[in-house]
Amino acid sequence: MPYAAGHREQMRRKIVDSARRLFNRHGFENVSLTQIMAGAGLTHGGFYSYFNSKSDLYADALQCFFTDPNWKSCWEGVKVDRAAKDAGAQVVRAYLSRQHYDNVEDSCPMVALPTDVARGNHQTRQAFETVFKAMVRVVEGTSKGSAKARHTRAQAISALCVGGMVVARAVEDESLADELRKACTQVALSLGGWHRG
Q: Is the dihedral of CA 125, 70, 196, 95 positive or negative?
A: negative
- Can you give the chain as a three-state secondary structure string? CCCCCCHHHHHHHHHHHHHHHHHHHHCCCCCCHHHHHHHCCCCHHHHHHCCCCHHHHHHHHCCCCCCCCCCCCCCCCCCCCCCCCCHHHHHHHHHCCHHHHHCCCCCCHHHHCHHHHHHCCHHHHHHHHHHHHHHHHHHHCCCCCCHHHHHHHHHHHHHHHHHHHHHHHHCCCHHHHHHHHHHHHHHHHHHHCCCCC
Give the domain ranges of the chain.
Answer: 7-61, 87-192
Interval 42-88: pLDDT, tens: 988 889 999 998 888 887 887 776 776 666 556 777 777 777 888 88
Residue 49 CB contacts under 8 Å (≥ 6 apart), including other chains: none
Does the pLDDT at position 174 exceed 50? yes
- Position 35 scores a pLDDT of 96
Predicted confidence (pLDDT) per residue in 21-53, tens digit = 898 888 888 899 999 999 999 988 889 999 998
CATH numeric code, 87-192: 1.10.357.10
**Is pTM beyond 0.85 here?**
no
111 vs 115 pLDDT, higher one: 111
Contacts of 145 (CB under 8 A, 6+ apart): 153, 193
Where residue 197 falls among pLDDT bands split at 50, 70, 90? very low
% of the chain with per-residue pLDDT over 70? 91
Fold held by 7-61: Arc Repressor Mutant, subunit A (1.10.10)
